[in-house]
Amino acid sequence: MLSLADLGIGNAMVYSMYKPLANENFSEVRTLINLMKKIYFFIGLGMAGMGIFVMPFIQTFIHGKQPDVNIYIVYSLFLLNTVSSYFFAYNRSLLIADQKNYQVVINDFVFATINSIVQIIILLVFKNFYFYLISTIFFTIIGNIFLSQKVSRNYSFLKEYKSVEITQKLKVQIKELTIGNLLGKIGTMFVTGTDNIFISGFVSLAAVGTYSNYLLVIASIQQVTLQLMYSVTGSIGNLIATESKGKAYKTFIRHNFINFTVLYFCASLMATLLNPFIFLWVGKEYIFSGVTVALIILNFLLRGYRLSSWVFIDALGLSWILRKKPLWESFINVIVSLFFLIVFKLGINGVLLGTSISSILVVNWWEPYAVIKHGMNKDFKDYLLITGKLFSVLALNFFILNIIKEILGGYTVIGFILLLGITLIISFACYYVFFNRCEEYNYVNILFKRGIGLIIRKKNR
């Protein structure tokens, strides 16, 4: 629930800064930054007040064996870590809008790494959970201060230029984008939350535990792809503010192909290695059937393929147009999941099918449609044809890999390594045969060669 606390303000403000930054309208940028400071200050205070109000009732949410720590101290430390971040959030928004999200990522990575090392030392030497949590708070604050100082040094106009009055049009824009972003967050949380509730309520808690093992692997991959795809949001926002819609559409198709390429190889590896990995990691009793794993991978693909649309929705400021989407997604997800659970008794497969069907019927066409039709005034049919071709190749690759998997198994360490190598070879061969002549493939190839060249040059210095 804490992720809802900014009420969707962050993305709304980032979008509102694209154009003034591109046009060097620094007075308007400073106005937006000052507004963000005030909003996040009051959000931080509100979160602190709400957290303190809930504190006396924490005990009622804890069932079973009590942890060997003071839960009120632990809760207070978590609350402090969350609240402190809001007072620095505007710095991140400015860097993202100015195409410098990489600085935020590097900053977070460095301080998270230092924090992890310190926490390991704390657990080994002091064996104190309170010190462990205090370390997180300390490095969160230090990391945010470091980022804040960098912004102050590099954006002197925040002090040199005076704020201007926010126009009524801009106020309406921020309000609409905030509402759209908030509804999107609520919809995502609702779908994810109801899936776990349905599995625990209609299947078993054991199924939830087994499912969580698969989700742990998939969530790690999703986090990497999310960071990779979202890292260019600022650049895309700048491009949209300064270039033609034709160029923006071409960039969207390229971004979508890059996103698919990442998903293609990740999903191919999952198709052959996910069950063997779970087997080697936690044991045979925690493995799902092939059908269940296929549905898990399908949901991974459906969610992952939306990333390009998400990036361009933020860059184009389309969240208000899509405000009804999460309501329909949530409604269909609940109805279809309950239908499969109660009528067909499909268990966890029914829940996963409900999520897949709600994605296909609502979000997987609605989001790109909004980007292409409302954002770029282009024909949506071309996108559908491209998507059909991409997933047809992926389906063919899955078919070939499934035959190989049935032969090799991969449930030993040596078998796993062998299956890994064969999966990569077959997947790349299939990818190359069907895509090597398309413009997007050549673009990906150029980017890949540039990346390799950059790494080699750095090593030779």
pLDDT tens by residue, 122-150: 989 998 989 999 999 999 999 999 999 99
CB 1, CB 84: distance < 8 Å: no
Alpha carbon 281 to chain centroid distance? 25
Spatial separation of the C-alpha atoms in residues 335 and 337, rounded to whole Å: 6
> Once rounded to an integer, what is the mean pLDDT over residues 164-188?
89
CB 374, CB 180: distance < 8 Å: no
Spatial separation of the C-alpha atoms in residues 41 and 215, rounded to whole Å: 35
Spatial separation of the C-alpha atoms in residues 193 and 95, rounded to whole Å: 32
pLDDT at residue 65 above 70? no
Asked whether the CA dihedral 47, 49, 55, 58 is positive or negative, the reply is negative
Q: Which of 176-180, 194-198, 339-343, 363-367 has the lowest mean pLDDT?
A: 194-198
Verdict on whether the full-model pTM lies above 0.85: yes
Spatial separation of the C-alpha atoms in residues 115 and 118, rounded to whole Å: 5
Which pLDDT band, with edges at 50, 70 and 90, does 7 fall under? low
**Which pLDDT value is given to residue 461?**
63
Q: Which of 30-39, 186-195, 260-269 has the lowest mean pLDDT?
A: 186-195
pLDDT at residue 182 above 90? no
Alpha carbon 48 to chain centroid distance? 26
Which tokens is 54 given?
Answer: 């809930």
**Which pLDDT value is given to residue 102?**
87
CB 415, CB 284: distance < 8 Å: no
**What is the per-residue pLDDT across 98-125, written as a single tens digit (0 to 9) for each?**
989 889 989 998 999 999 999 999 989 9
**Which pLDDT value is given to residue 32?**
93
How buried is 214 (Cβ within 10 angstroms: 0-12 exposed, 13-18 middle, 19+ buried)?
A: buried
**Which pLDDT value is given to residue 160?**
78
**What is the per-residue pLDDT across 234-281, written as a single tens digit (0 to 9) for each?**
889 989 988 899 999 999 999 999 999 999 999 999 999 999 999 999
pLDDT at residue 27 above 60? yes
Three-state DSSP class for residue 313: helix
Higher pLDDT, 430 or 450: 430
320: DSSP letter:
T
CA distances from 302 to 117, 171, 242, 312 (A): 36, 34, 31, 17
Spatial separation of the C-alpha atoms in residues 335 and 358, rounded to whole Å: 9
Q: What percent of the chain has pLDDT over 90?
A: 68
> Once rounded to an integer, what is the mean pLDDT over residues 164-192?
88
Higher pLDDT, 379 or 410: 379
Three-state DSSP class for residue 88: coil
Q: Residue 404 is inside which H or E element, if any?
A: helix 380-408
How buried is 322 (Cβ within 10 angstroms: 0-12 exposed, 13-18 middle, 19+ buried)?
A: buried
**Which pLDDT value is given to residue 414?**
94
> Once rounded to an integer, what is the mean pLDDT over residues 142-170?
88
Which pLDDT band, with edges at 50, 70 and 90, does 89 fall under? confident
